[in-house]
Amino acid sequence: MRAAAVQMSATTDVGENLETASRLVGEAAAQGAGLVVLPEKWPVLGAIHHMRAGAQPLDGELVSGLCSLASELGIDLVAGSISEPGDDERLFNSSIHVGPDGEVKAVYRKLHLFDVDLESISYRESDGERAGDEIVCSQAADGSGIGLTICFDLRFPELYRALALAGARVLCVPAAFTLETTRAHWEILLRARAIEQQCFVIAANQFGASASGIESGGRSMIIDAWGEILAQAPESGEAVIVADLDMEHLEEVRRRVPAHSARRSDVYADPGPIIEP
């Protein structure tokens, strides 16, 4: 499988962002990518009023356009995340996997909300967003399991273990990681999740300052099951990074280091049920 991560800097203009994303996804497909991952909140990134203005339901024009794009290019498209209206004023941060047949294969709503106090910012996603309550493992057209996660989820390894146990071979991390935490933690956490779970990791990050004033740190990455970085984008600037995911290599890593079969589930509990489309 050839995979790609798209790095972009979303504005508050949904139409402009869709045009940018479509162009970059097209570039990835032209390079032979059969699985393409967009960053978190690529249709609109800004303050909560911007997010509400740009929110769309799953049966709206935005998702319909993504389905057409995936079908036209013949790719599996993990469309980063979009702002999806909930049943109150708060939004879901939802990642959507669309198959090459143009059908929605899975929807994952971000479990862990970014409520933090850093030196440079204090941020409360929970003020305007709702957490999901389901772990979602989807499947690419070639049968490879795809674990869906979003940004701050990266700091919760138990989620990634649950996805690996559910059959994930590829872990997707669309993000708008802040510049500060990208520089300090991004690579370390991504490589740790790949090594722990013996999976490929595709991490598509935003870059630059959004309308909210928060700056994202770029450095989108594709990492193999041994923790090696196969492709990496710079800290700033649009980018499409591409790498071949060798599933035989993944299985060899799992044979050499039996981190899954050697688990002591008799001592510590396994995760609960996983939602599989």
Distance CA 222, CA 241 (A): 8
What integer pLDDT is reported at residue 213 of this predicted model?
85
Contact in structure between 121 and 214 (CB atoms under 8 Å): yes
In the block, residue with structure tokens 């970059």: 24
Q: CB count, 10 Å around CB of 174?
A: 30
Domain 2-256 = CATH 3.40.50.970? no
CB atoms inside a 10 Å sphere around CB 119: 6
Catalytic site includes residue 151: yes
* pLDDT at residue 212 in the model: 85
pTM confidence score? 0.94
The pLDDT of residue 118: 66
Q: Which of 67, 137, 151, 172 is catalytic?
A: 151
In the chain, where the domains are located? 2-256
Cβ contact 195:230 at 8 Å? no
- Angle of helix 14-30 relative to helix 61-73, nearest 10 degrees, comes to 20
Report yes or no: 105 and 99 within 8 Å, Cβ to Cβ. yes
The whole-angstrom separation of Cα 75 and Cα 138 is 14
Catalytic residue among 41, 67, 105, 110: 110
Q: What is the model's pLDDT at position 275?
A: 55
- Catalytic residue flag (residue 105): no
Per-residue pLDDT of the chain (277 residues; tens, 9 = 90+): 999 999 999 999 999 999 999 999 999 999 999 999 999 999 999 988 999 999 999 999 999 999 999 999 999 999 999 999 988 889 999 999 999 999 999 999 999 988 777 666 666 777 778 999 999 999 999 999 999 999 999 999 999 999 999 999 999 999 999 999 999 999 999 999 999 999 999 999 999 999 888 899 999 999 999 999 999 999 999 999 999 999 999 999 999 999 988 988 888 876 655 555 5
Beta bridge partners of 8: 206
Residue 83: how many other CB atoms lie within 10 Å: 25
Known catalytic residue at 137? no
Cα separation of the two ends of the chain: 21
Separation between Cα atoms, residue 40 and residue 114, nearest integer Å = 13
Q: Three-state SS for 240?
A: strand
- Contact between 249 and 213 under an 8 Å Cβ cutoff? The reply is no
Amino acid at 88: D
